[in-house]
Amino acid sequence: MISMALSSVSLRDLALVQAVAREGSFNSAARAMYISPSGLSHQVQKVEQALGMPLFERGGRRVAPTASGQRLLGYIDSVLSAAEHLEHAARAGDVAFGGELRLGVPSTLGPYLLPHVIEPFPQRFPDTRLTISEGKPRGLLRRLGEGELDAVLAPPSTAMTGLDSVALFFEPYELMLHKGHPLAGQEAIALTELDAADATLMAESHGNGVSDLGMPGAARPERIQDLSIESLATLVALRGGYSLVPILAHERLNSIPNVVLAAVEGARPGRHIALYWRSATPWRDDLVGFGELLRTLAGTIPGLDTTTPL
């Protein structure tokens, strides 16, 4: 049985509490939820009175949950997640994903893979809108866990619980060198021929440096940059050296002045890409079908490998 006080609390009230916890500020939460600060404060107090305890410590520069509030916020998150699933299930009918798939894609993958997906998607899932969010894999997976996204394309991760996944493809890396590099012009280059000190690598894919690739040299002398693939190409074009880049970006990078591309001889550095979704999603069958579509499309794109296991 639910008390009369708690039964007067709405899902909107709980979402406001969740926003305060997320933003750490009543003013910021009010802006995010399109409500006045006084109105937000009143609704949060209503929830606190219904639960019989304070959820937040007030008065400091940043609003922080109380010890009991921290515990109850987990239940509030569960209630809102269950409400979202209820709404999705009610809207499902015969339309895949209830009419919209909110997909998260790494910014180093989206611009190069999505052109292959946009046209076939409505053919496979008519009456369903595909909404794209780009970002870093870790942030996208966090948003997936919080219910902001329905699915995410990302390299394998063990950092999140409550998620299911299906392997899609392996994307090899190729070498991008300044056109003045001594090895520029060769069709294939072994990593052992390169000096690690000349490397400029993406933090997203090579956060541990060339040591992950079995290259010789001192520990981590290379430059790790947290930037896009095209910005990475600009750095190599301006200051020389080389980098490792995903093969899907080949066509775009091949048009950038002062850099050349070459295959990696011997070793096969690259990244695996999987499709992730919440284990409790009501769209499991649709997501499995979406994964099958992506694997089929990947099999038609030169360079991608749908047979290499994770």
In this predicted structure, the answer to whether residue 64 has a pLDDT above a threshold of 50 is: yes
In a domain, 181, yes or no: yes
How large is the average pLDDT for residues 78-94?
75
Beta bridge partners of 189: 264
Q: How far is CA 305 from CA 170, 175, 299, 310, in A?
A: 5, 18, 7, 11
The reply to whether 10 and 146 lie within a common domain is no
Q: List the domain range (segments joined by +) for residue 42.
A: 4-89
Which one has a higher pLDDT value, 156 or 291?
291
Q: For position 161, what pLDDT does the model report?
A: 76
Q: List, for residues 187-236, the tens digit of each pLDDT value.
A: 999 988 988 888 888 876 655 455 455 555 544 445 666 778 898 899 89
The reply to whether 144 and 233 lie within a common domain is no
In a domain, 307, yes or no: no
The reply to whether 80 and 159 lie within a common domain is no
Q: Provide the whole-model pTM.
A: 0.69
The reply to whether 208 and 181 lie within a common domain is yes
CA distance 145 to 139: 10
In a domain, 207, yes or no: yes
Number of domains in the chain: 3
The reply to whether 80 and 135 lie within a common domain is no
In a domain, 177, yes or no: yes
In the listed set 60, 89, 118, which residue is the last one of a domain according to the structure? 89
In this predicted structure, the answer to whether residue 288 has a pLDDT above a threshold of 80 is: yes
The reply to whether 174 and 264 lie within a common domain is yes
Q: For position 101, what pLDDT does the model report?
A: 94
The reply to whether 184 and 205 lie within a common domain is yes
Q: Are 275 and 165 in contact (CB under 8 A)?
A: yes
Q: Which residues of 136-168 are buried (b: 16+ CB within 10 A; e: fewer)?
A: bbeebbbbbbebebbbbbbbeeeebeebebebb
In the listed set 31, 56, 89, which residue is the last one of a domain according to the structure? 89
Q: For position 92, what pLDDT does the model report?
A: 58
The reply to whether 112 and 250 lie within a common domain is no
Please identify which residue in the block is written with the tokens 């949060």: 44
The reply to whether 156 and 114 lie within a common domain is yes
Q: List, for residues 96-129, the tens digit of each pLDDT value.
A: 888 899 999 999 999 999 999 999 999 999 989 9
Q: List, for residues 50-59, the tens digit of each pLDDT value.
A: 999 999 998 7
Q: For position 159, what pLDDT does the model report?
A: 61
In the listed set 70, 89, 108, which residue is the last one of a domain according to the structure? 89
In this predicted structure, the answer to whether residue 270 has a pLDDT above a threshold of 60 is: yes
Non-local (6+) Cβ contacts of 91 within 8 A are: 98, 99
Q: List, for residues 231-252, the tens digit of each pLDDT value.
A: 889 989 998 999 999 999 999 9
Task: Tell me 279's DSSP state.
Answer: T
The reply to whether 239 and 212 lie within a common domain is yes
How large is the average pLDDT for residues 65-78?
92
Q: For position 213, what pLDDT does the model report?
A: 55
Query: Residue 232: which CATH number?
Result: 3.40.190.10
In a domain, 45, yes or no: yes
How much of the chain exceeds pLDDT 90, in percent?
55
Q: Are 310 and 275 in contact (CB under 8 A)?
A: no
The reply to whether 246 and 209 lie within a common domain is yes
